[in-house]
Structure 1
Amino acid sequence: MRSIIGYLVCLVVALTIGYTFSPKVAPQAEVLATRPDRVQINGLLNLGARVVAVGERGSILLSDDQGVSWQAASVATQRNATLTAVLALDDKRLLAVGHDGWILRSLDAGSSWQEMRYDGDLGEPLLGIWTGGGDKVLAFGSFGKFYQSTDAGQSWAPQTLDIDSAHLNSMAGGSDGRRMLVGEQGLVLRTDDAGKHWHTLPAFYSGSLFGIVRLSADNWVTYGMRGHVFVSHDFGDSWTQINVGNQLPLYGHVVLPDHTGLVIVGAGSSVVRLDAQGELVGVGRLAGLGTLTSATMVGSRLLVGGERGVLQGSSGSAAALAATQATQ
């Protein structure tokens, strides 16, 4: 009898261990849709009538009521790989990029998505995507990965940059051909001919830069690790650091309506507000929201994404909140 009981105990333990370490099925999209606070969000996109959020485990969430409720989009080939950024070519055609070189495309404003590219063997993430208009798109990421599409994201060709395999994090530019691309170890690349020739700017900061913003042809802002924010008034020839009063890393931003400035968000629910010339307006925190990675404006409200999902920054204008709670 004791031996039988012993065998039964061993069987239960073995089954428990087997269940614990066996691969688990990712939460169903329907569950994530009803609980958008349980999935990390890395990118937000406001289409006007719809807001799109992308994040971990291949999550793509849609809101047609300005962020009040969310539904899951349909992904034809779900890889469960983290998505890092989302972009609109127009009000219907969208692109999203993520880990394992994953690129998705939607032709119906985000309701359904098809896979355009995936490289699970290499396993390196794409961290951003950018377009200057039309069907030409650029995607970039870890170890200098830089791809170009001339057919609205259907096919992609690698491009070469002389950057010694540095990670590329963010890109900005305008229709006049002026663009900048930033990455790790203070890397800043600049072009004035729509990307035909890229030049590395002299280093002015040794840490990673996570974002670059074009405010005008001459006024640019970049930000990143340890609360570092820099502004240039001469298209990157010189940079001045803005003291935001803390060392919390900054990860994402949104340009305010009518180009009246921008809001940058980051760790510790931090919010930094700059005006249209890149001058500091205010610094504040949206209490209890954790690390913020992305933001978009919905009317006068700031919608933020991060480790706790998609959240409304405040009951009123969070941009105004950052100004009224200004601290240097």
Structure 2
Amino acid sequence: MRQLIGYAVSGVILAAVAFAFAPRNPQPLAATQLQVDRVQVNALLVSGPQLLAAGERGTLLSSVDSGRSWHAAQVSSARQATLTGLIALTPQVLVAVGHDGWILRSDDGGRNWQETRYDADLGEPLLGVWSADGEHVVAYGSYGKYLESSDAGQHWQAREMLGDGAHFNGMDGDRQGRRMLVGEQGLVLRSDDGGRHWQPLTPFYNGSLFGVVTLSASHWVAYGMRGQVFRSEDFGDSWQRVELNSAQPIYGHARLPGDAGVVLVGAGSQLIHLDAQGRLLDSSRRNGLGTLTSAVALNARHLLVAGERGVSQGPDSGLAAHAQ
């Protein structure tokens, strides 16, 4: 009897082993839906037919259908650092920046990214990236961090800047050499020679400015804490406050095609439309979108916004769209 029991147990074990290692042809699993509405998105970018997004935990996403579906990019160095800025130097060459001095570069349109800089020891966030010509690139951020690249983001060098170590939060400019850099405590630096020389402007606000945008050679808009928006018609020599019925901070913007102006976005799901001279046209809120950090114009009529609840949100198709 004991032999029979032993044979039976051995047979069960052999059968289990054979089953475990036997070749199978299982039914394919359904594709996993990428839940972009559960990711904090800090930067949006339109590059050719693509829409790209960057955000928390090193998230880099791309979409070819105006944000209805998304695909995660391949990153050479998997890190959990938050990404804060994106720029397309050409349709194929892109640069992303973020916390811990992290800089990534793609040369295939955003499908694959390679790390070009990382400094976890210093741990200082980069908060944005900007370029006028696609070759000379600037990355800027906390404690006056200002990095320059002359080879489309492959190599970087630090540069000392005015500002006594204040955070640099936003930058914009044009191809004629005019630039502005804004930051905490009302800091505004201006250059008219492509960034070779900078001058501090007389402070017109004592709180943090989070962004600046050029609307023309003379017309500029700066925005920041407590719903503060300022416009200049003389390249920053003087500024006028744009009166808003809001004290919510404003974090991002999108220039609209043609002479349609700019839309600012911020906390409380607010959208603020200014004309091409920086004058207020409309201010509204979109329920359920949370804090908005970035926006891009998909075309002349629609704006896609993103923030703490990602970009797959809002009514209808799941996009947060604002018709102009």
Shorter-chain TM band:
0.7 to 0.9
Higher helix share: 1
Q: How does 1:264-275 map to 2 (within 5 A)?
A: 264-275=264-275
Contact residue 67 and residue 312 of structure 1 kept, 8 A = no
Which whole-Å CA distance do the structure 2 matches of 1:278 and 1:314 have between them? 29
Corresponding residue of 2:307: 306
Unmatched tracts of structure 2, length 5 or more: 1-30
- TM-score of the pair, normalised by structure 2: 0.87
Q: Quote the residue 1:204 is aligned against.
A: 204
8 Å CA contact retained: 1:286, 1:314? no
Residues in 1 aligned to 2:323 and 2:184: alpha-carbon distance in whole angstroms: 28
What letter is aligned with 1:273?
H
Q: Which residue of 1 aligns with 2:5?
A: none
User: How far off its partner does 1:297 sit?
Assistant: 1.3
Match of 1:226, SS state, is helix
Return the offset for 1:230. Answer: 0.1
Cα deviation for residue 313 of structure 1 reads 6.1
Q: Describe the superposition over 1:156-199 as per-residue Cα deviations: whole angstroms up to 9, x where unpaired.
A: 00111121100001111111111100000000000111111100
SS of residue paired to 2:221 = strand
Task: Read off the aligned partner of 1:307 and give its amino acid letter.
Answer: E
Structure of larger gyration radius: 2
Taking structure 1 as reference, are residues 232 and 209 closer, same or farther at Cα in structure 2, changes over 3 Å only?
Answer: same
Distance (whole Å) between structure 1 residues aligned to residue 314 and residue 103 of structure 2 = 29
CA offsets per residue over residues 66-101 of structure 1, 9 Å max, x none? 110111000010111000010000111000000000
Distance, in Å, in 2 between the alignment partners of 1:295 and 1:301 is 11
The TM-score normalised by the length of structure 1 is: 0.86
Q: Share of identical aligned residues, percent?
A: 56
Partner of 1:318: 322
Partner of 2:278: 278
What is the count of residue pairs matched by the alignment? 290
- 1:112-138 Cα offsets, whole Å, 9 max, x none, are 000000001011100010001131000
How large is the Cα RMSD of the aligned pairs? Answer: 1.5
Structure-2 separation of matches of 1:164 and 1:99: 21
Secondary structure of the structure 2 residue equivalent to 1:57: helix
In the alignment, which residue of structure 1 is the partner of 2:24? none
Task: Give the structure 2 partner of residue 191 of structure 1.
Answer: 191
Deviations 1:36-59 (A, max 9, x none): 011100000011311000000000
Deviations 1:135-166 (A, max 9, x none): 10000000000010000000000111121100
Distance 1:78 1:294 in 2: 24
- Matching residue's letter, 2:70: W
Matched, 1:257 2:257: yes
Distance 1:274 1:319, change over 3 A: farther
**Partners of 1:224 and 1:39 in 2: CA distance:** 23
Tell me if the contact between 2:92 and 2:110 (Cα under 8 Å) persists in the aligned partners.
yes
Whole-Å separation in 1 of the counterparts to 2:280 and 2:84: 28
Partner-residue secondary structure (3-state), 2:258: helix
In the alignment, what sits opposite 1:239?
A: 239
User: In 2, distance between residues paired with 1:259 and 1:153?
Assistant: 31
